[in-house]
Amino acid sequence: MPPFPDESSHHLKRLTDGLKRAGVKLTHQRLEVCRELAGVTDHPDVEAVFHGVRARVPTISLDTVYRALALLADLGLIGRVGALQGRMRFDPNMTPHHHFVCARCGAMHDFTSAAVDQIPIPDDAHAFGHVHAMQVEIRGLCRRCQFGQES
């Protein structure tokens, strides 16, 4: 056991504790999905999580991954991130942060901004309903796409 738990096991504990607290069964499959999420720093789609978990649990089904991710998202343990092209993606990072999204390839990068976080929620927004969170999305072209790479 390391003197300090590493970042990954911190995240894993947060996820598994959340499942226990929700009173759902902590199955082998759900545990491995959590382990996968705890070990990534990007915004994986279902397919990516499925591939990662299947390396350790070869018999897991795609549907189970869909359900595990939906459960974690519904419990607020991971975030959903709106996809501009194709598949739904998830965000294991629940600390307040914002996104840079490439309009061409869909690459998504995290960044933080105290300046943004200090802005009060506009009054207009409260009129629409109960505000849960405010997030900035910056659209642009990532470095790879900026230079004519066809990949």
Partner DNA sequence: ATTTAATTAGTAAAGATTACTATCTAGGAA
Partner DNA sequence: TTCCTAGATAGTAATCTTTACTAATTAAAT
Contacts with Zn ion, residue ranges (CB under 5 A)? 102, 104-105, 107, 142, 145
Closest distance of CB 62 from a second copy, Å? 18
Report which residue type is found at 99. Answer: H
Long-range contacts formed by 37-42: CB under 8 A, 24+ apart: 37/11, 37/72, 37/78, 37/90, 37/92, 38/8, 38/9, 38/10, 38/11, 38/12, 38/92, 39/8, 40/92, 41/93, 41/110, 42/108
Candidates 10-18, 45-53, 57-65, 126-134; binding stretch for a second copy (CB under 8 A): 126-134
* Closer residue to DNA (CB): 67 or 109: 67
Candidates 35-43, 67-75, 94-102, 132-140; binding stretch for DNA (CB under 7 A): 67-75
Q: How many residues bind DNA (CB under 7 A)?
A: 27
